Chain A
Amino acid sequence: MTITFQPSAFSGLVDRDNGLVSREIFVNHDIYAEEQERIFTRAWLFVGHESQVAKPGDFFISSMGEESVILCRDRQGEVHVFLNSCTHRGMKVCRYDEGNTPIFTCPYHGWSFATDGSLVGVPYYKDAYHEELDKSEWGLLRVPRMTNYKGGIWASWDPQAPDFLEYIGGFRTYLDILFDGWDGAEGGTEIIGGIEKWLVPSNWKFPAENFIGDRYHNISHRSVDLVGIGPSGQGRRDNRERDGAKSLDVSFPERGHGTVIFLRPADAQPVQSYQNDPIVAEYFYACEIARKERQGELWRILGGPGTIFPNMSYLPRQPRSIAVWHPRGPDQTEVWRWFLVDRSAPPEVKEFLRQYYIRYSGPSGLTEQDDMENWNYAHAASRGAMARRLRYNYQMGQGYAVDDFEDGGLHLPGTVLDTTKARAGEQNQRTFYTRWADFMAARDWDELAGWRNGKSANGHAAQGNGAAGR
């Protein structure tokens, strides 16, 4: 049974002004059920990459919240997302992970659906249904909102949701670093075959908040930093390009997205990196020069981890990848991980990155194994009757973020906390949970799209809407 909460039931769980978040929102089963309704049926969710459904008939089974969906390209070449559930009796019409098919035939009673979702085959249609069933009414449930932004396919169940570009707002400046080529070429990326999928015993919000900008968890990665798996043989990443750069935590409180970036000095020049391999070093150096040429001042931005609310996180540079934290109950998350490379990169570069991605990421990755241990046992130790009465502390750097950040003539979109000296802050995490509270309280997208009237659902001022510029 689903309890229908009044919006007021969630007030107080996120204390934005004091930087405190109730542990209940991570461990409480009723709150979890409400999240599925209020967040996952209304937000834009990442479904897959267009290169996974390149040809007509190609399909990739994805997930939106807890639910299985089919991402596919129909015979006319149009891309769709459907609920993977037969409209007759609910059976999954596809239990493969990916492939190519002219038709999805339900294994239960045989209803068949074309790749545009239409119901095209019904056994005994003439004799048992007397041709009275209106097949046009019983196609697969189409996810009503879908967009392809630079190869990334996103979808929302809410017909009232704003367009995707309005949903991300000024965050686009940062998301582009993920999907554009390293040289800045528009949407110049593709997926490397093989999507990592695994279970983590923690609430889905732990990884989402970790990726939105937790610069504080260095101790987690002490072991991998000691061993040195980075592309230049040191640390866990190659950080030379960050020399002299400012560390900035950028967030969009009225939208819930955030990322950590590094901003190179105004007079910075491309530097050589990835010196372990001359071909790779040369490729990235040439890309950096081309990107500087193409993007001017924006080239100074070096992307870091980020999260698009609610559950899509990414690493735009090293190791370039997308993670979606699919909720699987309050105590479990199914992680799906896509890896991206420049489509036009030479084979040596793709292979170099592939090996680095594998040793860094996911359950077999030297870096992320230790992240999951923390999410696992932070969650486990927050479940008890006493433990859940406490609140998590997100007070770091509170009150130090600015909405009009400017450096060397470059204005950055978003609310910016300069963490160069502080080294860490929790503005982005506060942003994430502020937005979480918005979604749990708001009746509809009129309330959720607070930037349209300068107010968010929580009543805080909305800004940071524009694109970067000088």
Chain B
Amino acid sequence: MVTDNVTANDAVARLLLRQDVEAFLYHEANLLDERQYDDWLDLLTDDVRYWVPMRRNVKFGELEREFTREGQDINWFDEGKPTLIQRVQQIQTGVHWAEEPLSRLAHLVTNVEITDVQPDAADAGEVSLRCRFIIYRNRVQTETDILVGRREDTLRREDGQWRIARRKVLLDQNVLLAKNLTFFF
């Protein structure tokens, strides 16, 4: 039956898309963990937005004020590609003492859910997704940070490959327990 075929094709398309997107996310995490920062930058669109708000303790009913606002408040990060490139360049100077010696990083990405596809799964040009992350960072001798949170990404297909057009990182901390954020989420 025609209808069933359409449904089946659609389901397969969504399955393949999901597979494709997850593979991209794992590839990206791997680049960061392997310190392939230039390759990582290539995965970002030129107009990428990278936003990590700070997080307040607010009263129930005022949760809209929980996060600092993009484009208005001080945030942990609220920037585009030029500053991200500078962060990479700084690490690559070899005298960025907060990353020298380099951190040992493990990005664990999980709970991936595709929340929007444009125009459709079979011919996806832009995908919105959310996922959870755990970032384990170990440095020098005993310095250890574990950062856990939620991420909302928008991926865009450019020249036949996925690139990150937007990343919003909701970190599950109030007072930041790490002394710095020299790594990428």
Contact = CB atoms under 8 A, between A and B. Distances in A.
A359 interface: yes
Interface in B77-124: 77-79, 83, 86-87, 89-90, 93, 95-99
A334 B178 CA distance: 11
A200 B179 contact: yes
B177 A199 contact: yes
B81 to A, nearest CB: 13
B103 to A, nearest CB: 12
B98 A194 contact: no
A97 B56 contact: yes
Interface on chain B toward A: helix, strand, loop, or mixed SS? loop
Contact of A194 (B59, B74, B89): B74
A289 interface: no
Nearest to B178: A363
Contact of A193 (B58, B68, B76, B96): B68
Contacts, number: 128
Contacts of B76: 196, 358, 362-364
Q: How large is the interface on A (under 10, 10 to 19, 20 to 34, 35 or more residues)?
A: 35 or more
A98 interface: yes
A193 B73 contact: yes
Interface string B119-153: 00000000000000000000010000000000000
Given A358-B75, A364-B76, A198 B179 contact: yes
Contacts of B59: 96, 99, 101
Given A227-B93, A363-B176, A355 B79 contact: yes
B58 A99 contact: yes
A366 B87 contact: yes
B181 interface: yes
B79 to A, nearest CB: 7
A421 to B, nearest CB: 26
Q: How large is the interface on B (under 10, 10 to 19, 20 to 34, 35 or more residues)?
A: 35 or more
A131 interface: no
B159 interface: no
B37 to A, nearest CB: 13
B174 interface: yes
A192 interface: yes
A334 B175 contact: yes
A376 interface: yes
B97 A374 contact: yes
A194 B53 CA distance: 9
Given A99-B58, A220-B97, A370-B98, A376 B179 contact: yes
Contacts of A200: 179
A191 to B, nearest CB: 9
A224 interface: yes
A470 interface: no
A358 B140 CA distance: 26
Given A339-B74, A364-B52, A372-B98, A359 B180 contact: no
A222 interface: yes
Nearest to A200: B179
Contacts of A98: 56, 58
Given A99-B59, A363-B180, A354 B95 contact: no
B89 A227 contact: yes
A192 B182 contact: no
Nearest to B141: A380
B62 interface: yes
A197, A224, A355, A358 interface centre (most CB from chain B within 10 Å):
A358
A128 to B, nearest CB: 29
A199 B175 contact: yes
A373 interface: yes
Interface in A345-389: 351, 354-355, 357-359, 362-364, 366, 369-370, 372-374, 376-377
Interface in A187-238: 192-201, 219-220, 222-224, 226-229
A95 interface: yes
Contacts of B71: 351
Nearest to A201: B179
B73 A192 contact: yes
Nearest to B65: A99
B88 to A, nearest CB: 9
B36 interface: no
Given A194-B68, A372-B98, A359 B83 contact: yes
Nearest to B56: A97
Contacts of A101: 59
Interface string B43-81: 000000000111011110010010011011111111100
Nearest to B74: A194
A52 to B, nearest CB: 12
Contacts of B62: 99
A358 B95 contact: no
A194 B75 contact: yes
Given A96-B58, A370-B98, A193 B74 contact: yes
Nearest to A99: B59
Contacts of B73: 192-194, 354
A201 B144 CA distance: 12
Given A198-B177, A223-B96, A366-B86, 4 more contacts: A227-B86, A372-B98, A373-B97, A373-B180
5 contacts: A195-B54, A199-B176, A224-B90, A351-B71, A355-B83
Interface of B: 52-54, 56-59, 62, 65, 68-69, 71-79, 83, 86-87, 89-90, 93, 95-99, 140, 174-182
